[in-house]
Amino acid sequence: MKIKNICCIGAGYVGGPTMAVIAQKCPDVKVTVVDLNEARIAAWNDEDVAKLPVYEPGLDEVVAEARGRNLFFSTEVDKAIDEADMIFISVNTPTKMYGAGKGMAADLKYIELCARQIARVAKNDKIVVEKSTLPVRTAEALKSILDNTGNGVNFHILSNPEFLAEGTAVQDLHNPDRVLIGGENEVAIQSLVDIYATWVPRERVLTTNVWSSELSKLTANAFLAQRVSSINAISELCEKTGADVNEVARAIGMDSRIGPKFLKSSVGFGGSCFQKDILNLVYIAKSYGLNEVADYWEQVVIMNNHQKSRFAKNIVKTLYNTVSGKKITMLGWAFKKDTNDTRESAAIDVAKDLIAEEAKISIYDPKVETSQIKMDLGSSFEYITVESDSYEACQGAHAIAVLTEWDEFKEYDWQKIYDSMLKPAFVFDGRNILDKQKMKEIGFVYTAVGSSNE
Ligand code: UDX
Ligand code: ADP
């Protein structure tokens, strides 16, 4: 079965870039991305591709190539569902903030709403693809809603989790390590394999049963987050013992069984996936009575929270146990470089801890909008200022904290920044990106995660 018409519900960080690349690579397939959020769709349709709602290196070019040809962004959800042979569900699945599983389980209300809408609108057979990360066995719930509320048409459910990382989304989509497709119906599976096989080598397209596919996504994120928490746990030990976490990471990473990637010690992982997916895994394990399994994975999140909180505590301690009234500049607000996404960013927690200590926070990030920082901080926003110029942000500060590893921070004229700060001038490098030797020569009191500041 050849797919001619794809609809994707949800024009966010996953749906937008993924569909843009599918449209780019399959010019004979019409791809329509729909969302309830009118402002978001308007931004995807903005003539000026610099204004796309998602910042990803290279995405502007992909959108410019395909948009209007076979890539469309629209708020007409019903129409797009009706026309499509294949529907991707790419809506958000945040951690549930109420009722049973509060703070742990995934909130599936947006998924369920989509399923009901698809069931109501569909007049012919559809392949429904889960793209959002979902708890294991969600496909079963989806199928039940579709079959019980539908108009008697057939629905085939596939799980096709997205492994792209933000900041490298286009690269990851163009050249994925693997594409995973879980399903039961061979014809449906093959039709999605055919889409990806247009540009992904066939041996990298894996097919499994639905449950393996759903669980693989949670497991991949849990393993990745665990590596970050593992190296962060060692970073604290390094600070006490005089070992250097970068040296340790390099030494262990050369063991081919461990490998060098994802061993960068930091102020803590953020992003919309890691914490949510682990908590989800913990909840699922608990719901099967697997308490040891649940406790094992929960520790990854506990360690991450500890890493964020000890970073803020260390700033207060180093600044003579008080930051009250002191200007502290935070460089970086996004959860990692090359994205404007701030979900679960460590910067948010660090800022809140410092605001609680009555610090005067000044924030600079090259891509995050002030309105986003305002949303992230809520009522605490009144205690901070956002600067559009980094040198301005650092002027007169007691201390600078590096929260995101933006490349431009490495290129700054640090002597000029030093000259404009109060003395002693402190730098807390939460990403280990600055040159320790050079910073010390300039005169900074420089502290990096994972090494003692002797
Ligand atoms: C992650 C997964 O990598 C991706 O496969 C999945 O589809 C979604 O979740 P993402 O959250 O976009 O992607 O970014 P990722 O590069 O994994 O980084 C997550 C967090 O870990 C960031 O805050 C990052 O700064 C931090 N991190 C990552 C470290 O602190 N150290 C590292 O060595 C790697
Ligand atoms: P992700 O990182 O998973 O892509 P986002 O929050 O960036 O998550 O994007 C999810 C998008 O899904 C949002 O833009 C939201 O408006 C949209 N959405 C949620 N529910 C629906 C729905 N029922 N119909 C259409 N769009 C929806």
pLDDT digits (tens, 9 = 90+) for 33-67: 999 999 999 999 999 998 999 999 999 999 999 99
Closest CA to 319 of 413, 433, 421: 421
Ligand 1 atom 7 nearest Cα: 163
pLDDT at 105 over 90: no
Ligand 2 atom 19 nearest Cα: 91
Q: What is the pLDDT of residue 330?
A: 98
Ligand 2 atom 26 nearest Cα: 35
Average pLDDT for residues 284-311, to the nearest whole number? Answer: 97
- Burial class of residue 454 (count of CB atoms within 10 Å of its CB; 0-12, 13-18, 19+): exposed
Q: How many angstroms is it from 144 CA to the middle of ligand 1?
A: 34
Q: How many Å apart are CA 412 and CA 243, to the nearest integer? A: 28
pLDDT mean across residues, the chain: 96
Q: How many Å apart are CA 122 and CA 85, to the nearest integer? A: 10
DSSP assignment of 173-220, as one string?
Answer: HHS-S-EEEE-S-HHHHHHHHHHHHTTS-GGGEEEE-HHHHHHHHHHH
Which ligand neighbours the alpha carbon of 344 most closely?
A: 1
Closest CA to 367 of 392, 338, 347: 338
* pLDDT band at residue 452 under the 50/70/90 scheme: confident
Ligand 1 atom 34 nearest Cα: 262
Which pair of structure tokens corresponds to residue 264? 């960068």
* pLDDT band at residue 204 under the 50/70/90 scheme: very high
pTM for this prediction: 0.95
Question: What are the tens digits of pLDDT across the range 121-139?
Answer: 999 999 999 998 777 778 8
Which pair of structure tokens corresponds to residue 200? 């992904």
Residue 138 near ligand 2, beta carbon < 6 Å? no
Residue 44 near ligand 2, beta carbon < 6 Å? no
Q: What is the rounded (10 degree) CA torsion for 450, 220, 15, 179?
A: 130
Average pLDDT for residues 134-156, to the nearest whole number? Answer: 87
Average pLDDT for residues 328-349, to the nearest whole number? Answer: 97
Ligand 2 atom 25 nearest Cα: 35
Q: How many angstroms is it from 314 CA to the middle of ligand 2?
A: 37
* pLDDT band at residue 322 under the 50/70/90 scheme: very high
Active-site option among 7, 8, 114, 273: 273
**Local structure of 162: helix, strand or coil:** coil
Question: Does the annotation count 273 as an active-site position?
Answer: yes
Average pLDDT for residues 200-222, to the nearest whole number? Answer: 95
pLDDT at 285 over 90: yes
Q: What is the pLDDT of residue 291?
A: 98
Question: What are the tens digits of pLDDT across the range 372-412?
Answer: 999 999 999 998 999 999 999 999 999 999 999 999 999 99
* pLDDT band at residue 350 under the 50/70/90 scheme: very high
Q: What is the pLDDT of residue 139?
A: 85
Provide the strand spans (E) within 37-189.
71-74, 86-89, 126-130, 155-159, 179-182
Out of 55, 90, 333, 336, mutate this one to test ligand 1's pocket (max ligand atoms within 8 Å of CB): namely: 336
Query: Where does ligand 1 bind, in terms of residues with CB under 6 Å?
Result: 162-166, 221, 224, 228, 262-264, 266, 269-271, 273-274, 335-336
Residue 9 near ligand 2, beta carbon < 6 Å? yes
**Local structure of 411: helix, strand or coil:** helix
Instruction: Give the position, in ligand 2's atom list, of the atom nearest the Cα of 343.
Output: 2
Q: How many Å apart are CA 272 and CA 415, to the nearest integer? A: 36
Closest CA to 284 of 366, 220, 218, 237: 218
pLDDT at 453 over 80: no
* pLDDT band at residue 155 under the 50/70/90 scheme: very high
Q: How many Å apart are CA 278 and CA 271, to the nearest integer? A: 12
Residue 212: CB atoms within 10 A of its CB come to: 15
Q: How many Å apart are CA 375 and CA 397, to the nearest integer? A: 25
Q: What is the pLDDT of residue 18?
A: 98
Phi and psi angles of residue 254, each rounded to the nearest 5 degrees, phi first: -80, -10
DSSP assignment of 266-280, as one string?
Answer: -S---SSSHHHHHHH
Residue 11 near ligand 2, beta carbon < 6 Å? yes
Q: What is the pLDDT of residue 347?
A: 98
Closest CA to 251 of 263, 242, 241, 239: 263
Q: What is the pLDDT of residue 397?
A: 98
* pLDDT band at residue 141 under the 50/70/90 scheme: confident
Which ligand neighbours the alpha carbon of 336 most closely?
A: 1
Average pLDDT for residues 222-241, to the nearest whole number? Answer: 97
Q: How many Å apart are CA 148 and CA 248, to the nearest integer? A: 56
Give residue 213's identity as a one-letter amino acid code.
Answer: S
Which pair of structure tokens corresponds to residue 112? 């369920």
Q: How many Å apart are CA 190 and CA 108, to the nearest integer? A: 27
